[in-house]
Structure 1
Amino acid sequence: MAQAMMAAGFVSALLDYAVSRGADRQALLQSAGLAPADLTDQDQRVPVLAYQSMIAAAIATTGDTALLLRHTLESRLEMISVVGQIVHHAASLPHSIEQLNRYLRLMADANIPGDHDRFELLEDGNEVWIIDHLPIQTSDYVGIEASFARFISEFRRSFPDRPFALKLEVTYAPPPHVDEYPELFRVPVQFHAKRNAMRIDPVWISGDTEFEPGNTYVFGVFTRHADQLLHDLGQSDTFRDRIEAHILPDLHEGSLSMDKVARDLGMSRQTLYRRLKEEGVTFADIHDDLRHRMARDYLAARKVSVNETAYLLGFSEASSFVRAFRRWTGQSPTAFRDTVT
């Protein structure tokens, strides 16, 4: 099972913002398991889990639970991702959302259930809504906050004299910084709703409401670049992904047999070795890296203890897991878990 990935530009922008608010750059990079070289190109891919870990560490360091929301409202999408350039040169709001859904993977992988695009523009009587179909846990509010904040901030900046958002409906409970919502969002918010949606002024879907830029040449330049990036991503599904998906259910068994995995996949050990060598990775590398990622996932969720995490990852003793985790992150499992509370 390949882990979800995202564009490094978003991580880099958050890192810079958090540092400007008093966080330590190196500590945040360490919390995410990243190095500066991982963020040199905004189109590079980094794990979504690394970004989530950095958000949690930045919030813990600054004490500002609205940090990501504030950052989103104050930043410009076109400075972070080519997708921002595309939506800014779209002809209208419906066209912009169409492009957003088309190039969404260039920002972050997202598993949307059913046949939905992530964002849906819905006319309901006299009301117009933008619905975000990204499934979330009831306590996981930061992603949805940022999603709607991005729409609001881009329209607020580009069309300061024209109303856009009118109301928000969100499935999560009021967050710790709910008292700041009126100032930050500037629209009424309904919590514990059945969907995550934003009501907007109907004028934005009228036929005579087009975006000012409308530069088809510039739009074409950016979409050609984005199409190439999408093509490259489509070519990046690797043999390693197949191995990860196969061994994940057996991770708790500890020492996994490369011979057995090869037989299960209908090939010889030599063929398996050769295929992995072509991708510059070994079976042991995959096993170790998968343990690392799953350890961070389990600990960040705080639903199992350190000892239980060690068992789930196939370590015979918790002390062995602690040593491995220090090798991966430079922290103990307990210290890491404390940074993401």
Structure 2
Amino acid sequence: MKVLTVAAGLARTYIDYAERKGADRVALLSAAGLTEAAIVDQDDRLPLETYRTLILAAKDATGDPAFVLHHAMDTELRQISVVGLIVHSAKSMADSMVQLNRYAKLMVEVDVMDSGERFSMEPCAEGVWVVDNRPDPNSFPELTEANYGRFVSEFSREFPDHPFALAIEVTHPAPSYAEAYERVLRCPVTFNAQRNAMLIGSEWLEQEFDDHIGYVFGIYAERADALLARLETEDSLRARIEALVLPELHKGEVKIDTVARDLGMSRQTLYRRLKDEGVTFAQILDDLRCRMASDYLSARKASVNETAYLVGFSEASSFVRAFRRWTGMTPVQYRGQQHSLT
């Protein structure tokens, strides 16, 4: 099962904002199972569940149930993510929506992104509905708040004399702080709706942006495309662990505490995330050793003794027993079989 992720920079901006609002930074990081190292690079990835835990903890720590709405209004996307730079350097509102659909997963991954557009446009007599196609939105209503709060914030900041949202519909029930929705979003809000959608005037689709510079846009897009490519190869926690462990495999003992620290999470969080993927840390190490040993032997890159060392065995006899368990053959038999097939 693919583990959905968010950009570390997005998590960091929530932590920074909560700290400005009086929250204890160290306690907030601890509540989310994070470390400062995990949020240094804004383009690193964190599990979506960690992000959700962080937001709930920030709401509690600041005593502000509408924390996510206020964060959206008080921060700028271009300061948080390359996605914001791309959206703001697009040629027009219509083009910015195209770019948002292309690059939105760099901020927050959702399942719908693998099979369709995150945001779709549905014209109507009153204007155009911007529909959020995220599945199961009521499991994380704060993400819905962030989405539409961000839309209103960014366009209201750029066009202060032109109201952006005319109405908003959300599928989740009215929370205890429902009054904050209309006050912050500056338009009528309907709860328990059939979809998550925002009504805007149709004239917005014709709105040109003054700041568009094709060369600058190209630089941002090139960076974003590189991040997308990286994200596609790091779509599971297992893959991230293997990337960390592989250079250390020859040392023998690989400690889960060290790997958890390098991933920016606690040991308990790492155990929980691996359980969600249906695998254990020991299985990942065992499978990686088997795969690498098979590669070394079949390609005749190393002797049996050298292979044993490269995958972390101090004694060749222990490696032979493990390899027989993995493949049903000794390393010598496996190498001979592979050679006969070539």
TM-score by length of 2: 0.71
CA distance in 2, matches of 1:202, 1:103: 23
**8 Å contact from structure 2 (residues 28, 61) kept in 1:** no
List per-residue Cα deviations over 1:73-107 (Å, max 9, x = no partner). Answer: 11000000000000001111111011111112211
Q: Which amino acid aligns with 1:71?
A: H
What is the aligned partner in structure 2 of residue 214 from structure 1?
A: 212
Q: After TM superposition, give the deviation of residue 238 of structure 1 in Å.
A: 6.5
**8 Å contact from structure 2 (residues 32, 53) kept in 1:** yes
CA distance change for structure 1 residues 275 and 143 in 2, over 3 Å: closer, same or farther? closer
CA distance in 1, matches of 2:236, 2:20: 38
State the identity as a percent.
40
CA distance in 1, matches of 2:172, 2:13: 26
**8 Å contact from structure 1 (residues 239, 275) kept in 2:** no
CA distance change for structure 1 residues 114 and 103 in 2, over 3 Å: closer, same or farther? closer
**8 Å contact from structure 1 (residues 21, 62) kept in 2:** yes
CA distance in 1, matches of 2:146, 2:91: 24
Q: After TM superposition, give the deviation of residue 291 of structure 1 in Å.
A: 3.0
What is the aligned partner in structure 1 of residue 51 from structure 2?
A: 51
Are residue 171 (structure 1) and residue 171 (structure 2) matched? yes
**8 Å contact from structure 2 (residues 9, 43) kept in 1:** yes
Q: After TM superposition, give the deviation of residue 12 of structure 1 in Å.
A: 0.7
CA distance in 2, matches of 1:69, 1:218: 30
Q: Which amino acid aligns with 1:38?
A: A
What is the aligned partner in structure 2 of residue 318 from structure 1?
A: none
Q: After TM superposition, give the deviation of residue 115 of structure 1 in Å.
A: 3.8
Indicate the SS of the match to 1:112: helix
**8 Å contact from structure 1 (residues 89, 215) kept in 2:** yes
Q: After TM superposition, give the deviation of residue 275 of structure 1 in Å.
A: 9.7
CA distance change for structure 1 residues 104 and 9 in 2, over 3 Å: closer, same or farther? same
CA distance in 2, matches of 1:21, 1:188: 27
TM-score by length of 1: 0.71
What is the aligned partner in structure 1 of residue 223 from structure 2?
A: 225
What is the aligned partner in structure 1 of residue 106 from structure 2?
A: 106
Aligned residues: 267
List per-residue Cα deviations over 1:246-286 (Å, max 9, x = no partner). Answer: xxxxxxxxxxxxxxxxxxxxxxxxxxxx9995375789949
List per-residue Cα deviations over 1:155-176 (Å, max 9, x = no partner). Answer: 0001111121100011111111
Indicate the SS of the match to 2:106: helix
List per-residue Cα deviations over 1:311-331 (Å, max 9, x = no partner). Answer: x999xxxxxxxxxxxxxxxxx
List per-residue Cα deviations over 1:98-121 (Å, max 9, x = no partner). Answer: 111111221122111884311112
Instruction: Name structure 1 gaps, 5 residues minimum.
Output: 245-273, 298-311, 315-341
- Counterparts in 2 of 1:56-205, with a 5 A limit? 56-112=56-112, 115-138=115-138, 140-205=140-205
Indicate the SS of the match to 1:138: helix
**8 Å contact from structure 2 (residues 237, 274) kept in 1:** no
CA distance change for structure 1 residues 192 and 279 in 2, over 3 Å: closer, same or farther? farther
Indicate the SS of the match to 2:112: coil
**8 Å contact from structure 2 (residues 164, 201) kept in 1:** yes
What is the aligned partner in structure 1 of residue 273 from structure 2?
A: 293
CA distance in 2, matches of 1:211, 1:235: 34
CA distance change for structure 1 residues 13 and 162 in 2, over 3 Å: closer, same or farther? same
Instruction: Name structure 2 gaps, 5 residues minimum.
Output: 260-266, 281-342
**RMSD, aligned α-carbons:** 3.0
CA distance in 2, matches of 1:196, 1:23: 31
Indicate the SS of the match to 1:199: strand
